[in-house]
Amino acid sequence: MDAQTVWLAIVAIGIGTFALRACFIELGGRFTLPAPVTQALRFLPAAVLSAIIVPAVLRGEAGSLYFGIDNPRLIASVVATLIAWKTKSVLATLAVGMGTLWILQAAL
């Protein structure tokens, strides 16, 4: 992707994000989101982030998905998930996950 297209993406996301942040404040607090929408938005982070995580973890060298248990990214992610669940610590999750990946890549 050339530099101009990268900037197009950054500026478009920036403007759109500002619009999302400003929308109801600019409407003067007279309007609110309908309850079902607020309820549904509560599940958006879990759904979207999971949909980004799983393919990124399973992606093999050739660009296709790879489920083998000798996939170092898969094993490192399982370990990182356990750490995140048990410790709730961002730093511990990053350190253990990355460390596991490096050890497996060196070993396999």
103 binds another protein (CB under 8 A): no
97 binds another protein (CB under 8 A): yes
16 binds another protein (CB under 8 A): yes
Chain centroid to CA 86: how far? Answer: 19
70 binds another protein (CB under 8 A): no
Of 62, 70, 88, 107, the one binding another protein (CB under 8 A) is: 88
85 binds another protein (CB under 8 A): yes
DSSP the chain: --HHHHHHHHHHHHHHHHHHHHHHHHTTTS----HHHHHHHTTHHHHHHHHHHHHHHHB-TTSSB---TT-HHHHHHHHHHHHHHHH--HHHHHHHHHHHHHHHHHH-
Q: What angle is formed at CA 89 by the lines to CA 21 and CA 73, rounded to 5 degrees?
A: 95
84 binds another protein (CB under 8 A): yes
At its nearest, how many Å lie between another protein and the CB of residue 41?
Answer: 5
Residue numbers of the site for another protein (CB under 8 A)? 1, 3, 5-14, 16-18, 20-29, 31-33, 36, 38-58, 65, 73, 76-77, 80-81, 84-85, 88-91, 93-94, 97-98, 101-102, 105
